[in-house]
Amino acid sequence: MSGFQSEKRLILDYYAALSQAGQDQLPGVLSQFCAPDLIWRGYHPFGLLTGPEAVANRFWCPLKQALTSLQRRTDLFFAGRHLFDANGAVWVASMGHLIGLFDTPWLGIRPTGKLAMLRYGTFHKIEDGKITEEAMYFDIPHLMVQAGQNPFSPQTAQHLVQPGPMTHDAVLFQDAPEAEGRATLDAIEAMTRDLGTWQLGLPLEEELRRTWHEDMLWWGPEGIGATYTIPRYAQQHSGPFRAAFANRSKTSHICRTAEGHFGGFFGWPNFTAEHRGGFMGMPATAGPIEFRVIDFYRREGDKLAENWVFIDLLHVWAQQGVDILARTTEIG
């Protein structure tokens, strides 16, 4: 297969144009790089938006007004085709932080006048030289914590400013060997097969050791946090999460791809499960709950070593009748 240089160049130019554009120029930038029927999937309260103008006016203009002098700090950048559409469109994925001075309110979150970091993960689908789909997930609760408006009770793990990969080699401006990407997809596939519907039948730590390194790093979202090593991951996230949910559906992804030692996926939703109580201190709720997730991975050898996770927790709780954003900003 041919490489991904033209698609990567398109996204890099898109990022540069977004950074340089003034408020009145943003709709034009989106129209230049995106298809007229762009499908954009974002964190609650944005959800699904259609068309460049809607994305510019609903998301980018208010964000750039709130976080002035906005710049992008990229920790991960790669491209590939969806595993189950191997001859189809190219997807370009990236992860990092949008950094600015938090000078005016955004989504009711009060400004600090200080440096603020909005952690993001994104997938762009490229067809005929245009972005036709984009998934952009961003950790709004982490921004709230930076503003002194913590929306959640104490976490089972520890949230930090999430760094990029330990190896510092995840910005793949040049194309990586195809065999390395295939090996990364194989490792991700093995992990997702084991995960299944939580019915592999092994003790949790034994299950994890089949596909993860012992000193794995799991970089979770605000509200859950990050955890380190298989035993602590089992204790501080995976175990409590599985105990809190039942009847997990099969996993479904819009894109699952990899390049070099890095890969990832996203869904809308990835899976559903029934909350039987206890997750993040919340009571049980009847019916299935959607989980919209972006995962990025670093492979080392034939196992996974690091995982960066974006979960739309605001959407999770909105489905259960709790508007975390409104409740916290009103109190704050």
- Omega prior to 269 cis, within 30 of 0: yes
Q: Cα separation of 190 and 209, whole Å?
A: 12
Q: Cα separation of 120 and 67, whole Å?
A: 14
Same domain, 136 and 197: no
pTM value surpassing 0.85: yes
Q: What pLDDT is attached to residue 312?
A: 97
User: What is the rounded average pLDDT of the residues 249-262?
Assistant: 95
Which of 58-72, 115-129, 153-167, 169-183 is the least confident region? Answer: 153-167
Whether 331 has a pLDDT exceeding 60, the answer reads: no
Q: What pLDDT is attached to residue 68?
A: 97
Domain holding 37, by residue range, is 5-146
Question: pLDDT digits over 106-123, tens only?
Answer: 999 999 999 999 999 999
Question: pLDDT digits over 44-89, tens only?
Answer: 999 999 999 999 999 999 999 999 999 999 999 999 999 988 788 9
User: What is the rounded average pLDDT of the residues 114-142?
Assistant: 97
DSSP category for residue 220: P
Same domain, 322 and 186: yes
User: What is the rounded average pLDDT of the residues 4-26?
Assistant: 97
Q: What pLDDT is attached to residue 1?
A: 45
52 to 30, 157, 231, 309, 328: CA distances (angstroms) = 5, 38, 45, 27, 30
Q: Residues near 5 by Cβ (< 8 Å), separated by ≥ 6?
A: 175
Whether 135 has a pLDDT exceeding 90, the answer reads: yes
Query: Do residues 140 and 325 make contact, with C-beta atoms less than 8 angstroms apart?
Result: yes
Q: What would the two tokens of residue 318 be?
A: 């909105």
Domain boundary among 146, 167, 188: 146
CATH number of the domain within which 278 lies: 3.10.450.50
Same domain, 123 and 248: no
User: What is the rounded average pLDDT of the residues 32-53?
Assistant: 98
